Amino acid sequence: MEITEKRIPEERVAYIPYMGSYSKIPELMGEVAQWLADKGFKMTGLVYGTYFNSPEQVSEDKLQYEVGFGFEGKITAMQEGKIGIKEIPEHSVLAAIHKGPYTEVGPVIHAVIDYAVENNYDIVGPLSEVYLNDPMTTPEEELLTEVRIPVIKVDRSEYRL
């Protein structure tokens, strides 16, 4: 698996924050996509989930995450009903691609975290998964997910004793 550092450009997103089971993700994604379509916004191709905790840490009903889509267009409100709007600023991430079912992405996440620790990166935000193809038209074993962890590179050489 290849892990790379890259810059992610600023992106405007529409999203829904949620606490509960990951089984709600398809429904929530559908709600955001429908909202964007109803408003006439053009989606940019970014389809993502950001995960603030893990099933390894909390029970299913306490999982906190958001799902959303990048889009183009002007909007004045920061929230409309369940839908939030925000700008994700340009930032650096460590990224790796997982091929296969979404439920099997865990080892890639752990590998990226391990890489960050071993290579003097500080993790500065929650992990995101960017969904690169459509699960409605792609066989599960062909699904592509980019795992992204926001980082800054730290020079720890001056701190060694």
Average pLDDT along the chain:
94
- 104 touches 140 (CB < 8 A): no
Structure-model confidence comparison of residues 73 and 117, the more confident one: 117
Report residue 158's pLDDT band, with 50, 70 and 90 as the boundaries: low
Which candidate, 105, 114, 90, 115, places its Cα nearest to that of 147? 105
* DSSP secondary structure letter of residue 89: P
Percent of the chain topping pLDDT 70: 96
State whether the Cα torsion 54-58-60-62 is positive or negative: negative
Using the CB atoms, write b or e for 83-94: b if 16+ within 10 Å. bbbeebeebbbb
Mean pLDDT of 144-151: 98
Q: What is the pairing mode between strands 121-123 and 79-80?
A: unpaired
Least confident residue range of 29-33, 72-76, 95-99, 157-161: 157-161
Domains of the chain (ranges, CATH numbers): 4-156 (3.20.80.10)
- 102 touches 145 (CB < 8 A): yes
Taking only the tens place, the pLDDT of each residue in 68-92 is 999 998 887 788 889 999 999 999 9
What are residue 95's phi and psi, to 5 degrees? -135, 150
Which candidate, 111, 102, 115, 106, places its Cα nearest to that of 145? 102
User: Does residue 121 surpass a pLDDT of 60?
Assistant: yes
Structure-model confidence comparison of residues 109 and 159, the more confident one: 109
Q: Give the Å distances, CA to CA, from 117 to 1, 4, 93, 153, 155.
A: 17, 14, 13, 10, 12
- pLDDT attached to residue 159: 60
